[in-house]
Amino acid sequence: MTLVYELIFLVLVPASLFDLWQYRVPNALCFAALVISLIGHLDRISAAGISFWLAGIIIPFSVSFIFYVCHVFGASGSKLISVIGAFLGFRAALRILVYSIFVGAIMALFKMIWRKNMFRRFRYLFQFIKSDKKTRNKNPYYDMRRDGEDGVIPFCIAISIAALWEIF
């Protein structure tokens, strides 16, 4: 199992760096990791081994896609959580997703303190919730073109920290 952990680590580091620098993770990195995880599951070349691998991809992606649609986090987060699920299975990936939400909240809090915009960000959040309830407006909470990088955290770092927490 340590080889699996080493392979995940080799995916988490570049994914986190790409997300930190570019706010995106290349599809090629995720695809390569999925292929490597499939090769790792070939020792269990059975319906159970393949279904474990597929469930590890599909279930975490489906859950995280809801967050993507709501603009809570970007596509990179959904891709990375699916890659982790391909290696560790969907149960571990879902636990990591929950942990990463808490880690991401802490990261966001530190960023707001650092940038001294906590009150403005919370006021924006409450106004968004209030207007969304009144109008049933489906405008996204966050739009990079409209809002810039002020409200963004590199969520793949939160996922990576949560994954390392789960593994170790």
What is the tens place of the pLDDT at every residue in 44-89? 667 777 888 999 999 999 999 998 887 778 899 999 999 999 999 9
Q: Is the pLDDT of residue 39 over 80?
A: yes
Q: Is the pLDDT of residue 91 over 70?
A: yes
Q: H helices within 42-89, ranges in order?
A: 47-69, 75-88
For residues 29 and 15, the answer to whether their CB atoms sit within 8 Å is yes
pLDDT at 149: 78
Half-sphere exposure of 62 (CA within 13 A, CB side): 7
pLDDT at 40: 80
For residues 52 and 63, the answer to whether their CB atoms sit within 8 Å is no
How many C-beta atoms surround the C-beta of residue 91 within 10 A?
A: 13
What is the tens place of the pLDDT at every residue in 101-154? 999 999 999 999 998 989 988 998 888 888 866 666 667 777 777 777 777 899
pLDDT at 135: 67
**What span, in angstroms and rounded, lies between the C-alpha atoms of 10 and 167?**
14
pTM of the full structure:
0.88
Cα dihedral sign for 161, 98, 101, 54? Answer: positive
Q: Is the pLDDT of residue 1 over 70?
A: no
**What span, in angstroms and rounded, lies between the C-alpha atoms of 97 and 135?**
30
